[in-house]
Amino acid sequence: MSQDSLLGRISGDVDRDRDTIVDFMVKMLKIKAINPRSGGPGESKRADLIENYLKDEGFTVSRVDVPDAASPTGSRPNLIVKLDGQDKSKTLWYAVHMDTVTEGSRDLWKTDPFDPVVKDGKIFARGSIDDGQPLVAALFALRELKKIGAKLPFNVGVAFVSDEETGSDYGAKYLLSHNYFGKKDLFIVPDDGSPDGVNVELAEKSMLWVKVTVIGKQVHASLPRKGLNAHRIGMKLALELDEKLHEKYNARNKLFQEETLSTFEPTKVKANVDNVNTIPGVDLFYFDCRVLPEYSLEEVLTDFNVIAEKFKEEYGADTFVEPVSRDDAGPETLIESEVVKLAMRGIKFVTKKELRLVGIGGLTVANLFRKASYSAVVWSTINDIAHEPNEYCVIDNLINDTKVFATIPLMAD
C-alpha cells in the first residue's frame, strides 16, 4: 500500500473506531489513578487495563515497576510498547502519563469526577484532558499503525509513565536514568497545547518556588515599640522582591507569546498569629517564579538573598531564603530538528491549519528529555482546563489527535 493510501485510510479507520475509542476512555477514567503523593491509590490498576488491552491487540508490552513505599502496591508502573521500523536504532516516542490529580472540592463538580459522563460531544471526568485524551489518542494511533501494517521508517512507541504530577521520580526520570531510550530517539509529549491545535511547543520556562521567612519580635499590639513587626517587614520585602525581580529579568523571547516575560508571583502565605491584638514575630511567604530559559536560576536565587539581606540590615529582622522546588529549563528544541519537521508536517496534513511555534510557562516531561539532550515537541488539541472542576475532553479533539499521532511517523523524508 502506498503512503498516500495509508494516510487516507487512517482517517477513515479512526472515524469508524470512534465508539471504541470513547468506550475505552470512559472505562479508563473510571479507575482512580490519583498520585500516591496526593493520597491516592496510584496508577497500577490503570496500567493493568492499558497493558491487558495492548496485549489483546497483539503488542508486546514491557512493564517497569519502580519501588515506591508510598504506593499501596509498593511500586509505580511504567509501560513501554513500540512497533519496529526499518531503522531500529531510532524510536519516535509519544510520552504520556497515567496519574491524575485529586478532584478537589466535590461541591464544585456537576457530576461524579470518577464516573465519566458523555454529553454534548464531551467526556466529563477527572483526568479526561490531563492526561486521558493524549494517552488514549497515542494508544489508538499505535494500534492503527499496527492494524494497517504501515512500513515505518523507524520505530514508533508509546511510553505510559507514572508520577508526572509530582515530579516524575518514579516515571520519566527513572526511565531516563536507567537508559530505556536510545541516543537517536525523538519525543512528542502531548501534555499541553491549545483549543485550536495550532500551538507547537518547543521551550519551557525554568520553575523555582522560594520560601522567605522574616523573624521579628512578637509583642502585644498596644506596645509596638517593644517588638519588631515581622508581618510589616515581610509585606515590604515581598513587594520589593516583586518589583526588583520583574525589573531585572525583563527579556522577551519570541517563542513565549502570551507570558512574554519571566514572572515572579507572591503566592502562599503562612498564618502567623491567631488573634488581632498580637504583633507577629514571624512572617512566612512563598514566590512562584517562572523564568525564561536564557536566565540562570542561580542568579535569581542570589538576587533573592541580596534583597533579603538588605532588609535584614535596614530593619534588624533576620531573613531566610529557601528554595523549596526547582526545575531548570532545558535548551529549547531547535526549529530545524527532525522531530519538529515531522510533527509540523503531520499536524498540518490532518488539521490543514497554520501552526505557531511557542514556549510555555508550565513544565512537562518534555523538559526532562530536553535536559537529557533529546529533541522534544509538545502538542495536542486541548482546552486549558487541567486540574479544574468539571474537567472534560472534546471527543472530536480526541479523534483528530489520534489521526495526527498516527500520521506523524509517516511524514519522514
CA angle at 253 for the pair 405 and 368, rounded to the nearest 5°: 45
| Residues annotated catalytic, as ranges | 99, 164
Of the CA atoms within 13 Å of residue 160, those in its CB half-sphere come to 34
57 dihedral zone (left: phi>0; alpha: psi -120 to 50; beta): alpha
Tell me whether strands 219-220 and 278-279 are parallel, antiparallel or unpaired: antiparallel
Question: How far is residue 276's CA from residue 411's CA, in Å, rounded to a whole number?
Answer: 66
Residue 34 is given by DSSP the state B
242 dihedral zone (left: phi>0; alpha: psi -120 to 50; beta): alpha
Three-state DSSP at 23 gives helix
DSSP string spanning 145-198? HHHTT---SEEEEEEEES-GGGTSTTTHHHHHHTT-S-TT-EEEE-S--BTTS-
The label of the residue with cell 470513547 reads 22
Question: How far is residue 256's CA from residue 306's CA, in Å, rounded to a whole number?
Answer: 28
